[in-house]
Amino acid sequence: QNDGAVMRIRTPRSGLNGAYPDLEIAGVLGTGLHHIVSTQDGEMTRMYIDGELQSGSLDLAADFSNWDPGYGLVLGNEAIASRPWRGNLYLVAIYDRALTQEQIQQNLDSGMQTELWGSKIVRKSNSAQVGALVLPEQFELFQNYPNPFNGGTLIRFEVPSQTQVKISIVDINGRVVAQLADSVFAAGKHEIHFEPDQLASGIYFYVMEAGRFRDMRRMLYLK
């Protein structure tokens, strides 16, 4: 909202639209890209901007007895025409628990890097533009997001031409514990949603193989 961020959540102690009280951090945002996290642990609502805990945490200890499944989740601004959202959202994640500041910082550190999924930011040294379509010029495997994760996570990769691609999950002993892909992918950006089933908590690696290209990245699963 303006140059700040606002978090509103409907409880018996708030107004009908989650306001009064709400958590508002003013004067902290510019026109650049920011990593914003809001947590609610049953006692306090907190906001983190670019990994930093903001002052002004809000006491909203209350049940959700007046909650209705028809209430919408609004990201950006209020859901009315007079207050439209004029920014861009590149990734949204919802957890079933309040992340710690350490986990939030880990997500920020390993997050979108310079290649923002679905964004208009493109490294010119690594892209070839055909009309309005931007295609990668080389293979690339990105850090999964979120990381650490306890539900599911997205693994993103790029291929410069139609290619057979294999994506595998291996444990710290090098044993393959899941095969996510082994098929032909068209040139462009791709993502695979990985949701562990019977795996234990711990460190795992995901490996991408495509022709002579091979890359591996680390991820942390918290069950």
Tens of pLDDT along 150-170?
A: 888 999 999 999 999 999 999
Residues of the chain with pLDDT > 90, as a percent, come to 25
User: Looking at the structure, do residues 209 and 164 belong to the same domain, yes or no?
Assistant: yes
104 falls within a domain:
no
| Same domain flag for 122 and 82 | no
Question: Do 126 and 184 share a domain, yes or no?
Answer: yes
Asked if the bond preceding 196 is cis, omega within 30° of 0, the reply is no
Cα separation, 57 vs 61, whole angstroms: 12
Find out whether the peptide bond into 146 is cis, omega within 30 degrees of 0: yes
- Residue 216: is its pLDDT beyond 90? yes
- Supply the mean pLDDT for the chain: 74
Contact 61, 40 (CB under 8 A): no
Who has greater pLDDT, 8 or 157?
Answer: 157
Q: Is 74 found in the same domain as 36?
A: yes
pLDDT surpassing 70 at residue 72: no
129 vs 47: CA distance, rounded Å: 38
- Confidence at residue 110, expressed as pLDDT on a 0 to 100 scale: 59
Most confident range, picked from 36-50, 99-113, 133-147, 171-185:
171-185
C-alpha 71/C-alpha 62 separation (Å) is: 17
pLDDT at 207: 95
Task: Classify the C-alpha dihedral 100-105-107-108 as positive or negative.
Answer: positive
Any domain includes 108: no
Establish if 74 belongs to a structural domain: yes
Query: 145 and 73, same structural domain?
Result: no
119 and 78 inside one domain: no
Tell me if 109 is assigned to some domain: no
Burial class (CB in 10 A: 0-12, 13-18, 19+), 136: buried
75 and 123 part of one domain: no
Same domain, 76 and 135: no
Q: Are 70 and 147 within one domain?
A: no
Judgement on whether residues 137 and 84 belong to the same structural domain of the protein:
no
**Residue with more model confidence, 47 or 138:** 138
Q: By residue range, what is the domain housing residue 184?
A: 115-221
* 199 belongs to a structural domain: yes
Beta strands in 96-159 (DSSP E): 127-130, 133-136, 140-141, 153-159
Q: Which of 45, 49, 52 is nearest to 19 (CA)?
A: 45
Report the distance separating Cα 139 and Cα 164, nearest Å.
12
Question: Rounded to an integer, what distance in angstroms lies between the CA atom of residue 85 and that of residue 81?
Answer: 9
Please, which pLDDT band fits residue 115 given cuts at 50, 70 and 90?
very low
Given pLDDT bands bounded at 50, 70 and 90, which one contains residue 114?
very low
User: What CATH number corresponds to the domain at position 184?
Assistant: 2.60.40.1930
pTM of the model: 0.45
Residue 110 lies in a domain: no
Structural domains counted in the chain: 2
- Among candidate residues 53, 74, 89, the one where a domain is terminated: 89
One domain for residues 56 and 131: no
Shared domain check, 63 and 6:
yes
